[in-house]
Amino acid sequence: MPYRISHVDESTFEAVLPLIADYQTFYGCEPDPARNRAFFGDLLADPAQGLQLLASDDETGQAVGFATLYWVRVSTRATVVALLNDLYVRPEHRGKQVGAALLRAAADTAGERGYGSLVWETAPDNHRARTLYDRFLQDAGEPGASSTWIHYSHTINARPKGEK
């Protein structure tokens, strides 16, 4: 494979930040470089929260994709799972197995940490991602399927930490 998957660390953190901004733009959000640096930098400082994976082109060394994993407690199963919260591949590298490699690395990382499940979600109209995910589940050789759960979101006017 012409792509190398590695854990994001201090030496590769700067390379993943532009990919995060592209991912946010893809989903219609306005990237905030300072906020991204602080938020994703927390994963470097405290890997108990999660980690990021980086896909790099072996020939050029260019960062071409990333995935973000968070460790999430699931009450119904009284266990911790790996939540694949982000998966992004630069458009010119899509269809070249980068996304599949990131998914495999995410599943391997979760298994190495002792987590029995990798979970994720995507927009219903993101057909390209859904095709990748369906193919990954078919090729994985382990049981897996899309979910029937419905995702809800509620915006809260949060106060800064420590403020009452």
> What pLDDT sits at residue 53?
98
Alpha helices in 8-153 (DSSP H): 13-26, 33-45, 98-112, 127-140
> What pLDDT sits at residue 137?
85
> What pLDDT sits at residue 66?
98
Sequence length of the chain is 164
Q: 0.85 exceeded by the pTM?
A: yes
Domains located in the chain, CATH noted = 3-140 (3.40.630.30)
Residues of the chain with pLDDT under 50: none
> What pLDDT sits at residue 142?
67
> What pLDDT sits at residue 149?
72
> What pLDDT sits at residue 154?
77
Both tokens assigned to 3 = 């792509």
* Beta sheet of 63-74, edge-to-edge order: 3-7, 50-57, 63-74, 79-89, 118-120
Integer CA distances (angstroms), 22 to 49, 117, 151, in order: 23, 28, 23
Per-residue exposure over 83-102, b if at least 16 CB sit within 10 Å of its own CB, e if not: bbebbbbbeebbebbbbbbb
Query: DSSP states of 3-47 as a string?
Result: EEEEE--TTTHHHHHHHHHHHHHHTT----HHHHHHHHHHHHH-T
